[in-house]
Amino acid sequence: MSIVVGVLAAILSFGFIIFVHELGHFIGARWAGIRCPQFAIGFGPKLFSFDWRATEFSLRIFPVGGYVLMIGEEPPIEGVEGWHEQFLAATGPLNMPTTPAAVLANLVNQDPEVVAFLSSLPPEKVYQQVEDLEGNFNAKSTLQKTVVLLGGVFMNYVAAVVLLLGLGLSVGLCSGQPEHLARAKVVMPGSPAERAGLKANENMVAVDGVSVVSGTDFIQQMSGKVGQLVRVTVEDKHGRHDLQMAPDLMLSNQFVFAQGKGVELTKLRDNSSPPKGYKLPFAVATVNGKPVSELAELRSWALNAKELTLAGPQGEWKIDSGKSHTFSPRAIVGIELANIVAFQFETKATGNVIEVRPGSQAARAGVKAGDELYDLQGVLVASGQGQLEQCLRNLSQRQATADGSFKLTVIRDDKFKDLFMEEVPAATAEEWGVKLEPLTPAVVVRSTYRLLRNVVSFPYDLFKDMVADAKTTVNDLKENSSGPIGIVQTMVEGSHAGLGVLIFLVGVINASIATFNLIPFPALDGSRLLFVWLGALRGRAIDPQKEARIHFAGILLLLCLIFLRSIGDVHRWYSGIHMIK
């Protein structure tokens, strides 16, 4: 039953977003005096319809889009051709310039559609051309066309502002942040995790009895236990059970070492071959002439070294840290963590620190007034006090003898800065030693502005990333982007999380669709606007047939991209992988 309610909520949400966008176009068109024979939500056969002021409003069976049909749009659509002939048949020969009132008074044929349209125009406005009077999009000025084309985008932005501000002022400040879960999305073949018996979609809840609060926290706890046999408590649908797992060691994100009878180099991460005369596994007896028998000893050698000489039965093998100039030793267990978007409503205070109590745990960790708290041990705490204190409570339950430190990431002077706590934190923000900025209407307005600014600037930021590193950016998009099916899944899960989360998602998607439509890609509003202004600058309009072919090609390409992206969306949804929590 819950999935039915979720799908219904997603359909209604999409319908609202589409309605708002098309309403913007419609209002702009009516302001410009353009005839709009149809205003449709969805495609396919009509479920119901009604006529008002020379426009048929309809709801159609497939709620996956919508349109406002305007006279003069290309390509022509069946059922609306011949408006020019129909108009002249009702008005007879016209002496231009003239007004709608004068034309209505001298009609030779009382055509109801013509009468309805002329009655909707300002009665005493003077029109110079028949095409302008009959409401043809192509006869309108460049300014009028611009208003019409930007109307949908403008209304989506207005809806986003109204929804997000209304939600923030009435319920609380909502934020959705990506988070690494302590859940195995993929278990790598031959990895320590697979050897221990870990399965995909199992949750890691404790390491040697110490609770795990996030995926990053799990990795950090394991990093201090390289080569050691660790008791990992996992949870699946049948309950909890313990596994014995020994993390491997990776150097320079390239060389993988395991603890066997001794230390062994077992794998090169890029799947390259070892130097001629060597084979894997490569048993390591000494490092830089000193005997080693455990991974922890190798890790110590690698901490400050730029080059290591490994020696064993096969001879000597020199490895270096490459361009990074450091080996950056880290533990690996061979899993890919599941990602999710965590939503939280904040009603008390933001994550901005306005005061740090001298001598407190926060002060000893290096937190300063003006910092913006971002991440604590892999849990995003940027939304504010509620999220921070939930994480502090989880961490405060650990034993004081827990291995390692707690990592805190703050934003200081617009840059990320990592801080470390060497003690188990207190359970509340006040006990921990920070005073946070209270949540006020001004803060809600500022946060809404920042959120919308990030959405609007996303295409520009994406372009910069593509220029800097196209391969990485494309891989990130493949991993983290969603198509329509992924958006539907997000809305379904959002409806399960509560009405507030669903409203937040609808607000953000409104702004995202508006920004996407501004991109000058064929078939999008940004491209149509580009053609209008190119025609204005060259002194004559672009050939409508050529423009129509370009937009049609754009639609086909968009459909192909949506189909390819949807394959991953369907697989994720079918596999039971959630988008949000």
Residue 530 confidence (pLDDT):
92
Instruction: Give the C-alpha separation, 531 to 548, whole Å.
Output: 11
Q: Is the pLDDT of residue 576 over 60?
A: yes
Mean pLDDT of 49-75: 81
Q: Is residue 385 a contact partner of residue 370, using CB atoms and an 8 Å limit?
A: no
32: Cβ contacts below 8 Å, ≥ 6 apart: 140, 144, 145, 147, 148
Q: Is the pLDDT of residue 79 over 70?
A: no
Q: Is the pLDDT of residue 299 over 90?
A: no
385: Cβ contacts below 8 Å, ≥ 6 apart: 346, 348, 349, 350, 351, 429, 436
**Topology agreement, domain 182-335 and domain 347-438:** yes
Instruction: Give the C-alpha separation, 242 to 347, whole Å.
Output: 39
Residue 74 confidence (pLDDT):
56
H/E segment holding residue 387? helix 385-396
- In this predicted model, what pLDDT tens digit does every residue of 473-486 receive, in sequence order? 777 776 666 777 77
Instruction: Give the C-alpha separation, 304 to 423, whole Å.
Output: 25
298: Cβ contacts below 8 Å, ≥ 6 apart: 249, 257, 263, 284, 287, 292, 329
DSSP reduced 3-state for 60: strand
- In this predicted model, what pLDDT tens digit does every residue of 150-183 receive, in sequence order? 999 999 999 999 999 999 898 888 877 777 788 8
Residue 323 confidence (pLDDT):
63
Mean pLDDT of 437-449: 90
DSSP reduced 3-state for 567: helix
Residue 403 confidence (pLDDT):
47
Residue 401 confidence (pLDDT):
38
Chain-wide mean pLDDT for the chain? 84
Instruction: Give the C-alpha separation, 63 to 312, whole Å.
Output: 67
List 179's β-bridge partners, or say none.
340
- Percentages of the chain per state (helix, strand, coil), in multiples of 5: 45, 25, 30
Residue ranges per structural domain of the chain:
1-30+140-172+441-581, 34-139, 182-335, 347-438
Q: Is the pLDDT of residue 514 over 80?
A: yes
Looking at CATH, the fold of the domain delimited by 347-438 is given as: Pdz3 Domain (2.30.42)
Rounded (10°) CA dihedral 392, 396, 397, 398: 120
First to last CA, the chain: 19
Strands 335-346 and 330-332: unpaired
H/E segment holding residue 395? helix 385-396
Calculate what percentage of the chain has a pLDDT beyond 90. 21
Instruction: Give the C-alpha separation, 410 to 109, whole Å.
Output: 74
* Torsions phi, psi for 153 (to 5 deg): -60, -45
Mean pLDDT of 219-227: 80
Residue 581 confidence (pLDDT):
56
Residue 479 confidence (pLDDT):
66
427: Cβ contacts below 8 Å, ≥ 6 apart: 389, 392, 393, 396
CA angle, 33 then 56 then 510, to 5°: 80
Mean pLDDT of 203-230: 84
Instruction: Tell me the pLDDT band of 410, cut-offs 50, 70 and 90.
Output: very high
Residue among 246, 267, 272 nearest 255 (CA): 267
Q: Which of 120-129, 222-231, 391-400, 547-556 has the lowest mean pLDDT?
A: 391-400
Rounded (10°) CA dihedral 444, 348, 422, 419: 10
Instruction: Tell me the pLDDT band of 37, cut-offs 50, 70 and 90.
Output: confident
Top mean pLDDT of 60-64, 107-111, 301-305 is at 107-111
Instruction: Tell me the pLDDT band of 400, cut-offs 50, 70 and 90.
Output: very low
Structure tokens at 5: 């309610």
Q: Is the pLDDT of residue 490 over 60?
A: yes
Instruction: Give the C-alpha separation, 352 to 372, whole Å.
Output: 4
Mean pLDDT of 121-125: 89
Instruction: Tell me the pLDDT band of 90, cut-offs 50, 70 and 90.
Output: confident
- In this predicted model, what pLDDT tens digit does every residue of 539-550 receive, in sequence order? 887 887 888 888
Q: Which of 63-77, 141-155, 166-180, 454-468 has the lowest mean pLDDT?
A: 63-77
- CATH hierarchy code of domain 182-335: 2.30.42.10
Structure tokens at 420: 């470390």
Instruction: Give the C-alpha separation, 382 to 379, whole Å.
Output: 9
- In this predicted model, what pLDDT tens digit does every residue of 339-372 receive, in sequence order? 777 777 888 888 899 999 999 999 999 999 999 9
397: Cβ contacts below 8 Å, ≥ 6 apart: 211
Residue 445 confidence (pLDDT):
92
Mean pLDDT of 224-250: 88
Mean pLDDT of 283-299: 88
Residue 579 confidence (pLDDT):
59
